[in-house]
A and B are shown apart, each in its own frame.
Chain A
Amino acid sequence: MQHTMKGVRSILPIAALLLGLVEGASAQTATSTVTYEVTAINEISLSSSTVSLTVNAATAGSAPTAATVAQTWAVTTNQTAAKVTGAINTAMPSGLTLSVTLGNPASATSAGKKALTAIAVDLVTGITKLNESGLSLDWELGATAAAGVVASANKTATFTITGGI
């Protein structure tokens, strides 16, 4: 009996060791390396690419009544202190003034109504990390009586967003 008990005791540790060695598969992990970056992004757009302004009325005794058109603009920037400037390709005829007022996005500053010339002028400044649409953009064509009759003509207005930091 004693010999049998010793044999049984020696079998058990071996069995336990083997069970441990053959127990289930472990987890397996595969790894991928993802390379990424974000570049500076500055985009603006206008609700319409064409605007028509006609000065054709006045109150007697006053300068001709300015013509106005309202549209909207949109902006996305992921930088700090971006700005929008505006310019037209060539100067307006004498006596005519083309002006624009851009509404400001949150925390930015609108310069108010600005006359457009061939030299770019700041329209909105301090635009920081935002995306907004439906912002107001008001056009105005003013004319003095001295401008006379001006035949229909086109100007190209360019709005530029310049990234900040």
Chain B
Amino acid sequence: MWKLTGLAVMAVLQLGLSSGSAVETLTLSGNPLSLMVSTALAGLQPDAVLDQATTYDVSVTQTSQIAVQLTSSLPSGLTLRVRMDAPAGAVSAGYVSLTTTAQDLVTSIPSGSYSELTVSYEISGTVSASVVALNTVDVDFTLTAQ
């Protein structure tokens, strides 16, 4: 009986060690360039500013999704939108206006590795935002199984 028990323990240990853990990675190429709202056509709201200089790499072993949120709110009158190009087979939500609440940005990412996909940042401000001194805000991109 003890021999049988010992075998059972070994089997459980072997199952645990060989299951492996899913390796999911999300990497950004860097931060966007500084976004400065500084122009307008007379009669219209200030011009939005767009940056598409950064990319992301993602590697997943199961269907996954990326959500996005700000870590703190922007000043009143300012809106930051982000868009991630979708990997093949995935779905991009297009431009998403960021808040401190997580929102889906890319969904249905199939298992695989994908690289150098464009991340677009757009900032816009209304005239009511007034002058805003140079500042920063962090944007969290979270990869999870879907």
Contacts and interface: CB of A to CB of B under 8 A. Distances in A.
Interface of A: 3-4, 7-8, 10-11, 14-15, 18-19, 21-22, 24-25, 27-41, 43-45, 73-80, 129-134
A151 to B, nearest CB: 34
B88 interface: no
Contacts of B24: 25, 28
Contacts of A43: 39-42
B42 A24 contact: no
Contacts of B117: none
Interface string B102-144: 0000000000000000010101010111111111111111111
Interface residues of B, number: 69
Contact of B31 (A7, A24, A32, A75): A32
A32 B139 contact: yes
Contacts of B25: 28
Interface string B13-45: 101110111111111101111111111111111
A8 B5 contact: yes
A131 to B, nearest CB: 5
Contacts of B138: 31-34
A4 B5 contact: yes
Given A28-B142, A78-B130, A14 B12 contact: yes
A25 B136 contact: no
A38 B40 CA distance: 12
A74 B43 CA distance: 5
Contacts of A41: 37-40, 46, 127
Nearest to A37: B134
Given A18-B12, A45-B43, 9 more contacts: A4-B5, A11-B9, A22-B19, A22-B20, A24-B145, A25-B145, A38-B46, A45-B41, A74-B43
Contact of A38 (B4, B119, B131): B131
